[in-house]
Structure formats: structure tokens, C-alpha cells
Amino acid sequence: MKRRIFQDDANVLRSLALLRVGQLFMDANFPPLESSLYYSHRLVEGKVTWMRPHEMIPEPKLLIDTISRHDIVQGVLADCWFLSSCAAVAQRPDLMRRVRHPLPSSKPSL
């Protein structure tokens, strides 16, 4: 049976191909522009600085040691419905293995 490649899968493949030639991926659906964050510039109260993880911390990791529902913290977004779902999935290692994309890596964490 032929496997269908979904958009996220294609983005992962593009990202890996770009990394091989020393370039970084940029999501065309979510470019690093203020218009990606706000409908109106009047909502912006300060300057927005777009940064990649490695620009904020020397060795960024998505997961450190274990996965816990306590890792989920709501910020200023009205996203409690999504975060509560993430916390529920985080309690089930079998589901986390299905959610996290298995990127090829020499290190065990993301």
C-alpha cells in the first residue's frame, strides 16, 4: 500500500533537506511577520522579535528527561482547550509516541 505524504510530513522532509545544505526551514503558512500573529497592528504593544530556538538557548531541546502533564503552561492565548488535550496526551506515553514525529537523530531527544 502506498503511503500518503501529508503536508506536515512534506515540511519535515523539506526541513531535513534544507539542513543538509546548511539552510533553515521557514513555514510559508506562518512566516516570521507580525501579520502571522495579529489581525491588527493596534494590538501590538511592543516590538516583536522573531527568534529560532538556537538563538534563545545554546542547545534547545523540545523534551528533557520525561514528558509530564505539568510541562503544559497556559500563557496569554485563549488556548486552554488545546493545552488540556496536550496534557491528557502527555499522560499516555503510547499516545506521545504516535504524536511526536520520529526525526532521524543521533541524540535520543528532540
Q: Residue 51 is part of which domain span? A: 8-99
| In a domain? residue 109 | no
Q: How many angstroms separate the CA atoms of 104 and 110, rounded? A: 9
70 in a structural domain: yes
By annotation, the residues acting in catalysis are: 80
Whether 21 maps to a domain, the answer reads yes
From CA 86, how far away is CA 16, in angstroms rounded? 26
How many domains does the chain contain in total?
Answer: 1
Single pTM value for the model: 0.44
The answer to whether the beta carbons of residues 20 and 109 sit under 8 Å apart is no
Flag whether 90 is in a domain: yes
Name residues of the chain where pLDDT drops below 50.
106-110
In contact, 49 and 56? CB cutoff 8 Å:
no
Distance CA 20, CA 40 (A): 38
Q: Which of 83, 10, 81, 23 is nearest to 52 (CA)?
A: 23
Q: C-alpha cell of 100? A: 511526536
- Within a domain: 81: yes
| pLDDT at residue number 106 | 45
Q: Is residue 41 part of a domain?
A: yes
